Amino acid sequence: MSEHPQKPGYDSAKEDYLKRLRRIEGQVRGIARMVDEDTYCIDVLTQISAVTKALQAVSIGLVEDHLGHCVVDAARKSPEDGAEKVREAADAIARLVRS
C-alpha cells in the first residue's frame, strides 16, 4: 500500500463502506457454510454472484470518491499532480475491469 498524507476520498462515507463490507464479509461466511453443508452448486453460485456485485458496488463508490476528491484536489494543485492521479485512477480501474 502506498502512503498518502491526506485523508482518503472516501473519508466522509467511511462508516457506510465499513457497514457494506461487514455485510459482504457475512455473506462470504455464509457461502463457506453453504459449501460446508453441501448446498446445491447453483445456490452457492447465486450467492457468489451477489457478493461479487456487492464488491463491485463498493469499488465503483470508491472510484467515484477518489475521482471527486483525490484527483480533483491534485488537479487544483498542479497539472502534473492531476495527471499523476488520473493515471493512478486509470490503473486502478483497469485492475477492477480485469478482475
Q: Domains of the chain, with CATH numbers?
A: 13-98 (1.20.58.1000)
Q: How confident is the model at residue 1, as a pLDDT?
A: 47
Q: How confident is the model at residue 55, as a pLDDT?
A: 96
User: Which has the closest alpha carbon to 71: 15, 4, 1?
Assistant: 4
pTM greater than the 0.95 cutoff: no
Interval 1-49: pLDDT, tens: 455 657 787 878 899 999 999 999 999 999 999 999 999 999 999 999 9
- Residue 26's region, left for phi above 0, alpha for psi from -120 to 50, else beta, is alpha
CA–CA distance from 80 to each of 16, 63, 65, 83, 92 (Å)? 32, 20, 20, 5, 18
In which band, very low, low, confident or very high, does the pLDDT at 99 lie, cut at 50, 70 and 90? Answer: confident
Rounded CA gap, 1 and 44, in Å?
A: 32
